[in-house]
Structures are given as structure tokens and as C-alpha cells.
Structure 1
Amino acid sequence: MSKQVERSDSTTDDDLSKGEIFDVLQNERRRYTLQYLREHDGPVQLGDLASHVAAQEYDCPNTAVTSAQRKRVYTTLQQSHLPRMDETGIIDYDDENGTISKTAHTEELTIYLEIVPGSEFPWREYYLSLGAVSLAIVTILWVGIYPFTVIPPLVWATLIAIVLSVSAAYHTYAGREMTLTEYVAQEAESDD
């Protein structure tokens, strides 16, 4: 197997620093590599991995990936991404045989991959719509259009406040499962 490069940071060979984890996971091709390794037992071939990553990037089946797309991904994986991941001990990359294997660190990163992305609900559009509906109700009440005037304005205001509060509470709860990209950006800002 390929020789592991000695790491220069203060962590031991058994521990990954936060910086190493975020450095590896900030790149989409590296995340696709980890995803592919999680889905396969034993070593995988670089060619198969390149096809998978290209298919993910171009949002098409593996069979629809062109040779140019595959080659572009293959080259960057071979020359940049896999050596970097091997250097940190996240994978074991044998460049002579073109095989990639899991290590103990591969499984450690599973939690980071599982939070990407929870749900892509369009919150901005939701709140814009909620504001528009609330404004429409207030306008209708101000003009005095029946049957909206049957319900007192205080009840309408209470209903609007409840919907807004419940929405905000749920949005806060759902936001805890932020995407990896947001988490990496947040961590990078806090390290500065």
C-alpha cells in the first residue's frame, strides 16, 4: 500500500484535527469519494470511483458519463484529492494499483456526511408568502370585507402570531441539521 505521509500538526496519528476534517470535507469530490467508499465493502478501483464521482457531478447515470468527464475527474482524484485524503489517514490510497480502501477514519466521518443536506425547504419563500397572506388579511379587515369581519381582528392577529411563532420554532429546529457546507463555512469563520 502507499506510504502514509507523516502529518505535521499537533494531532497524533490516531486523531484527526477539526481542520483536517473540514479541509477534506469542504471539497465535493472528496465527499463523493467517502460516500462511494461507504457504499462498497473492500477496496474500490480508481476508475470506478471516477465514474461515480463524475455521474454525481453531472447528475447522470454512470453509463451516461462521457470519457472526457470521467478523465477530468480521474485526473484530479489521482493527482490531488486521493493523495490528500491518504495523507490525513482518511483513506488508504494505493497509487500503484489504483485502489482505494477505507480506514478507521473513514467511518468517523460518517456523521458529517449524514447531515448533508437534511431538507431543502424554501424558507425564504415561505416567510414571504406568510407575510403576504398576513398583509392581505389585515387589508381585508381594514376594508371590512365579509366574511372576514365575522371573526374579530384580535383573533386574526392571534392566529397570525401563532402561525409565525410555530413556523419560526420549526425552522429553528430544522436548522439544527444544517448542511455541511454551511457548517464548514461557520467553522472557518470561527477559526479566523
Structure 2
Amino acid sequence: MSSLDTQKLNTIFELLENPRRRYVLYSLRRNAASMELDSLAERVAELEASDASARADDDHVRTVRVALHHVHLAKLADAGVVSHEPGRETVELAETEGFDRFLDQAVRVDCPM
């Protein structure tokens, strides 16, 4: 993501509107920008459990992993925010211009870490 325009701003807001995607980004940022998919799913499930709306049991972790694999990581990768290819087990936070300041604000507002 280079300089911001209306379309890029809309993409940023769309990405950050989903708590699960925000938790992915928070986790990657906190863990040196790279995590194995299983560890990432566990961390996201823990963060969701801290919201008291879900439990971080094995079933929930599996549910999160499937959703990350089939929905959220693809959306984040398409936007250039993370690097993840189907079949790879590593997810990496990408260098993005303009996105970081929005992620910083989101972390300040709702990050339970």
C-alpha cells in the first residue's frame, strides 16, 4: 500500500473492521512480524476468548485456523498487508506505507494484550 487514496482508505477500514483480522495483525506485530499458522490461530483464539464471547478450547482454535486459512489471510494477503500462500504454514506481516498508523490506533483502542 503506497500513498493513500479513497480506495486504499476503504480497504484499510474493511480489513480493520473485523476483530479476527485485527487480532492477526496485532499478533504478527507483537511476534516479530512472522508466525506459524497454528501458533497464530491459537493466539487469535486466546484473544477472542478474552472478549468473553468465545472459549479458546481445541475446537475453537480449529475453527479459527480454518477461518484464517480460507477467509482472513487471503483477504489480508490480497491487500498486501501479510504474506501467506496456500500450502505455506508461515504468515508474515508485510511492510506497508500508510497502513501502520491505522493499525497503531486500532491497537491503542482495543488490543487486549
Coarse TM-score class (shorter-chain normalised): 0.7 to 0.9
**Structure 1 equivalent of residue 100 of structure 2:** 110
What is the TM-score with the length of structure 2 in the denominator?
A: 0.78
Tell me how far apart the structure 1 counterparts of residues 106 and 66 of structure 2 sit (CA, whole Å): 26
Aligned partner of 1:30 among 21, 25, 39: 21
Larger relative contact order (CA 8 Å, sep ≥ 6):
2
Percent of aligned positions that are identical:
25
In structure 1, runs of 5+ residues without a counterpart are 1-12, 119-178, 181-192
**CA separation of 1:88/1:15 partners in 2, compared to 1, >3 Å: closer, same or farther?**
farther
In structure 2, runs of 5+ residues without a counterpart are none
Amino acid at match of 1:57: E
1:96 aligns with 2:87: yes
Rg larger for: 1
Deviations 1:120-165 (A, max 9, x none): xxxxxxxxxxxxxxxxxxxxxxxxxxxxxxxxxxxxxxxxxxxxxx
**CA separation of 1:46/1:110 partners in 2, compared to 1, >3 Å: closer, same or farther?**
same
Count of matched residue pairs: 104
**Structure 2 equivalent of residue 20 of structure 1:** 11
Amino acid at match of 1:113: L
Root-mean-square deviation over aligned CA pairs: 2.5
